[in-house]
Structure formats: C-alpha cells, structure tokens
C-alpha cells in the first residue's frame, strides 16, 4: 500500500501533541528532523506516494551515514535518529508497517565535554557589566543585571526564568516558583542579592513584588514577556564583554559548580537544578576533583 509520508508526518505530530502532550518546541524539532529524512527518501524514491516497506534498516542507516559525512555532531545525529525511531514506532504501533526497521539503528557515541563555567573571581565583574555598559538603556541594563543575578542565584533553565511572573517571587520566604521540564512545578530558593536586584529593576519599572501581580517578571520595551532569542543574545554579549564567553546555560553550570566547590552534596544540587536523573548532575562533580577529595577527607570517618 502506497502512502504520502508528509501526511503521515502530520498525523504523527498531531498524535504527539494531542495524545502524548509534547511541547510545541519538541514537536517543532521532530517535524524538522523527520522532514529532512523524508526529503532524503524522496531522492531515493521520487514519488509523492511510496510503499513504506521499501524503507528498510539499510535506508535509515544510509541516511545516518550521509549525516555523518556532512559532519553533524553526534548529538544532532542522535536527536535526528530519535525522531525517526519515534516516527517508525508510531507507524508500527498503529499497524501501518509490519516491521519496524528503525529498531536496528544504533546511536552515535557522544563525547561528553565538561560544561564551562564562570570562575568565582569573575562573578562580581559579570554582574556589574549591564549597569556599567548597558547594551541599550539604563532600565534594560537594570533588568539584565537582575536576570544575571537570578540565573546565578538559582541555576534556573532559560525557559523557567522567562516564564516567571511577579507573583511567583516570594520575598518573605526567599523562594521562587517555576514551571520546570515536563510541566512540573517546583520551588527554588533565591538569595538576597538576586531579590534586591529584582526589586531595584521593578522599582525602576514602576512595579513591585506583590502576591497577586501576574504580570511577566522580565519584559521588553513593549511590556511583553522577554523573548528567548533576545535574552540569549544579550547574555552572550555580557559574557563576551567580560572575556568569559559562553551561553545562558553557562550560568546554570556556574551555579552548580560553585555549590559543589563549596561542599554542597550532589543530591542537594540535583534537587536545586530540577534534574530527574542523578547522572545529569554527576557531570558537575568532575569539574573540580580537588574539591571532591577535600569534602571526602573532611566528611568520611576514614577519609584521612
């Protein structure tokens, strides 16, 4: 039976959204990766409708080989293969194919690099940068400083920070409520320095931390929630200006690294970062083995 792969892709994405509850970001990523694979198949089988049975493990393996030849990173290739595997699993489960050829495809080995971080000696300089050298104006410089302080104080993900409303900040208990991965709400401690910086920014904006104030915490010049790309560009500029370099995620790495450097337990750091798996947090313990040794010697009865 011949089918239109593009129509099947639309059905699959609809299933992910309505039945599986996948986010728009994930669905967009799946759509892009599967479209690339469909375009590849169209070069092999030049027809709008093809027999699904002709797409076998060898076809998918050859596609993977072409991606490797194009020098895509192992991470990108694995993400693409994951999308293709999910697509064929859907086709198999809904009896559109008799055999799932994607189950025979192995993932690329990924060389996990240690995450970069800002040295503690550079933190003060970084936090002063938006005030000292504002990219646009004084108000947005004050806002950017509050963002930097909040990232460093909490280790939040980019999406978590941008989704915060003013009422999510609890000044009295020094906590902030955020929506984490998978739509899971979590509560994160926030330090006084970050809280003071947020209050200074809001005061300049003509607002304040109030329990039922549901306006977005960080806004652009139009008063709308700050766009993701805008924030990414600005944080990157501040990191470059202080001769550090990196991305927004560098600040999350920095948060975890400095905690562990000062003896915080890995389980505590795991909870603060909102990791579901301990293995995700364990990467940070490799950053400073001397710190780990010191904690071991100080804490274990036979450590000396």
Set 181, 262, 286, 293: catalytic member: 181
Cβ-Cβ contacts under 8 Å for 203 (sequence gap 6 or more): none
Q: Is 290 exposed, middle or buried, given 0-12, 13-18 or 19+ CB atoms closer than 10 A?
A: exposed
Inter-residue contact 253 to 285 (CB < 8 Å): no
Set 252, 253, 258, 270: catalytic member: 252
**252 has catalytic annotation:** yes
b/e map 41-70, b = 16+ CB within 10 Å = beeeeeeeebebeebeeebbeebbeebeee
**157 has catalytic annotation:** yes
Cβ-Cβ contacts under 8 Å for 90 (sequence gap 6 or more): 12, 15
Set 157, 234, 258, 270: catalytic member: 157
**181 has catalytic annotation:** yes
Set 17, 249, 283, 294: catalytic member: 249
Q: What letter does residue 264 receive in the DSSP assignment? A: -
Question: Helix, strand, or coil here: 251?
Answer: helix
Set 90, 152, 201, 284: catalytic member: 284
**90 has catalytic annotation:** no
Q: Tell me the catalytic residues.
A: 157, 181, 249, 252, 275, 284
């Amino acid at each position: 039976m011949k089918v239109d792969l593009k129509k099947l892709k639309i059905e699959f994405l609809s299933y992910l959204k309505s039945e599986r509850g996948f986010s728009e970001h994930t669905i967009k990523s799946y759509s892009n990766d599967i479209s690339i694979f469909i375009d590849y198949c169209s070069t092999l089988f030049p027809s709008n409708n093809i027999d699904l049975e002709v797409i076998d493990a060898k076809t998918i393996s050859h596609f993977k080989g072409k991606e490797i030849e194009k020098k895509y990173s192992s991470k990108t290739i694995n993400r693409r293969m994951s999308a293709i595997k999910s697509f064929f699993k859907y086709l198999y489960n809904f009896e559109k194919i008799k055999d799932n050829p994607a189950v025979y495809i192995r993932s690329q080995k990924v060389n996990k690099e240690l995450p970069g971080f800002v040295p503690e000696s550079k933190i003060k300089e970084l936090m002063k940068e938006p005030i000292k050298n504002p990219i646009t104006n004084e108000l947005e410089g004050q806002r950017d400083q509050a963002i930097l302080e909040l990232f460093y104080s909490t280790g939040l993900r980019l999406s978590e920070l941008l989704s915060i409303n003013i009422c999510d900040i609890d000044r009295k208990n020094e906590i902030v409520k955020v929506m984490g991965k998978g739509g899971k709400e979590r509560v994160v401690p926030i330090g006084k320095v970050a809280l003071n910086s947020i209050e200074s920014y809001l005061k300049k904006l003509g607002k304040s931390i109030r329990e039922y104030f549901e306006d977005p915490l960080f806004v652009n010049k139009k008063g709308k929630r700050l766009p993701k790309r805008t924030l990414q560009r600005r944080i990157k500029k501040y990191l470059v200006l202080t001769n550090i370099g990196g991305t927004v995620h560098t600040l999350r790495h920095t948060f975890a690294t400095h905690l562990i450097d000062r003896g915080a337990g890995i389980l505590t750091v795991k909870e603060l970062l909102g990791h579901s798996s301990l293995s995700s947090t364990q990467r940070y313990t490799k950053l400073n083995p001397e710190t780990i040794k010191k904690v071991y010697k100080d804490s274990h009865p036979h450590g000396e």
